[in-house]
């Protein structure tokens, strides 16, 4: 026997409410993930900047006529 129209409507309303609640939940999860991604990207950029500053300092303090003093920046013998 098929459920009454009232029961079908009540079940449909419940399904909409549950679906909307899940949608809200996953929108919040997505939003938090975006914020976390931005934070991670900022941290990676900060670390890279610090690394670049240290490499620049090594180059600046390198003895004359060494590969680090060359404007290319990479030692001549670098490679596989």
Report if residue 21 sits inside a domain. Answer: yes
* 70 occurs within a structural domain: no
Specify if 23 maps to a domain: yes
Q: What is the per-residue pLDDT for 67?
A: 83
Question: Is there a domain that residue 6 lies in?
Answer: yes
**Greater pLDDT, 60 or 37:** 37
Q: Which domain holds residue 8?
A: 1-42
| Range list of H helices, the chain | 5-61
On whether residue 52 sits in a domain, the answer given is no
In a domain, 13, yes or no: yes
> Is residue 48 included in any domain, yes or no?
no
CA-CA distance, 55 to 71, in Å (whole number)?
Answer: 13
In a domain, 3, yes or no: yes
Instruction: Give how many domains the chain has, as a whole number.
Output: 1
Q: Which of 2-6, 32-36, 74-78 has the largest mean confidence?
A: 32-36
Identify which has the larger pLDDT, 75 or 43: 43
Q: From CA 14, how far away is CA 12, in angstroms rounded?
A: 5
14 pLDDT more than 80: yes
Q: What is the mean pLDDT of the segment spanning 6-13? A: 98
């Amino acid at each position: 026997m098929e459920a009454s129209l009232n029961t079908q409507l009540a079940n449909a309303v419940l399904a909409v409410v549950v679906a909307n609640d899940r949608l809200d939940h996953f929108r919040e999860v997505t939003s938090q993930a975006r914020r976390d991604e931005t934070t991670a990207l900022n941290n990676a950029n900060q670390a890279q900047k610090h690394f670049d500053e240290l490499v620049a300092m090594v180059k600046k303090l390198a003895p004359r006529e060494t590969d680090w003093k060359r404007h290319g920046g990479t030692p001549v013998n670098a490679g596989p």
